[in-house]
Chain A
Amino acid sequence: MTAHTGPHPTRRLILQGAASVALIGLGNLPFAPVRAAANDKYPEEVFKLKNEADAIKALYGKTAEPSDKVRLDAPEIAENGGVVPISVTTTLDKVTSISLFVAENPNALAASYKIAEGTMPAVANRLKMAKTSNVTAIVEADGKLYSATKEVKVTVGGCGG
């Protein structure tokens, strides 16, 4: 059966899991440090997170509610996952940031845009998608989060293959 000579991979995974749970727990404290999205620093750690829900939480510290005021334009089918044109617009007021997540990518957060006062709450860019996945746009408006999600089918992945 299992050898007891070294750290067992499963055990290590469990320990890592426990560590991230502890971190998320800390994030819920009322005196939590300023969120990554709220300051100007590049959120390097958030870009390393694999899971979309974790990334949203790490970036914003809260969850988003789906809203029909957020419009996510993405193709139904992307023939080339390396270049998927995606744009987000919203009719919401007081927008301070727009972020894009690709759930099935190796790292969920793809791009996060800071919208200054006077800048239109709209952005168009091109993202890589490893495979067919939900794409989620999150709009931060007046301190709240709103989202729109769309599935994009990818026929050729964008990660070299």
Chain B
Amino acid sequence: MTSSIRVRATSNGDITEVQTLIQHPMDTGLVKDAKGELIPAHYIQQLKFACNGKDVFVANWGTAVSKDPYVKFSFKGAKKGDDLKISWTDNKGGSDETTAKIA
């Protein structure tokens, strides 16, 4: 199975810019389906980025984050070739993780 996480991490030598796109429905629990039944809430709660054993960026999300969430940030202290570990957990106990090489 392909990962739900697509990430691009690029370093300019000093700063690493990270762009991430995750496939997830991010259902709010307020929307009804075609039959008029509520679609239960299903959303990512926490998304972590770790590099060299340290959490560099942690996102806590509610249902207001758009479907197939996108997030961009940047950090210092990494170099090209370092591993960036990305992991998420959702409200139904689902999770996924991947490791990207900083380019």
Chain A interface (Cβ within 8 Å of chain B)?
A: 40, 42-44, 47, 82-84, 87, 102, 105-107, 109-116, 118-120, 122-129, 158-160
**A115 contact set on B, CB distance < 8 A:** 57
Chain B interface (Cβ within 8 Å of chain A)?
A: 15, 26, 28, 30-32, 45-46, 54-67, 69-77
**A109 contact set on B, CB distance < 8 A:** 62, 64
Query: Can you list 15 residue pairs at the A/B interface with Cβ under 8 Å?
Result: A40-B55, A82-B67, A83-B66, A113-B60, A114-B58, A114-B59, A115-B57, A116-B57, A116-B58, A119-B73, A120-B15, A123-B71, A126-B65, A126-B69, A159-B28
Q: Given contacts A113-B59, A126-B65, are A119 and B32 in contact (CB under 8 A)?
A: no
**Cα(A105)–Cα(B65), bound, Å:** 11
**Cα(A114)–Cα(B73), bound, Å:** 11
Complex: chain A residue closest to B50, CB-CB: A116
**A106 contact set on B, CB distance < 8 A:** 28, 30, 63
Among B32, B65, B74, B77, point to the contact of A111 (Cβ < 8 A).
Answer: B65
Interface secondary structure of B, over-half rule: strand
**Cα(A42)–Cα(B90), bound, Å:** 11
Contact A122 B74 (CB under 8 A): yes
Contact A114 B57 (CB under 8 A): yes
**Cα(A146)–Cα(B57), bound, Å:** 20
**Cα(A43)–Cα(B71), bound, Å:** 19
**Cα(A116)–Cα(B59), bound, Å:** 11
Q: How far is the CB of B6 from chain A (nearest CB, A)?
A: 15
Among B58, B63, B70, point to the contact of A126 (Cβ < 8 A).
Answer: B70
Contact B15 A127 (CB under 8 A): no
Q: Given contacts A102-B64, A116-B56, are A123 and B45 in contact (CB under 8 A)?
A: no
Contact A128 B66 (CB under 8 A): yes
Contact A118 B56 (CB under 8 A): yes
Q: How far is the CB of B11 from chain A (nearest CB, A)?
A: 13
Counting chain B CB atoms within 10 Å of each CB, the highest count among A44, A105, A120, A122 belongs to A120
Contact B66 A82 (CB under 8 A): yes
**A120 contact set on B, CB distance < 8 A:** 15, 73-76
**A82 contact set on B, CB distance < 8 A:** 66-67
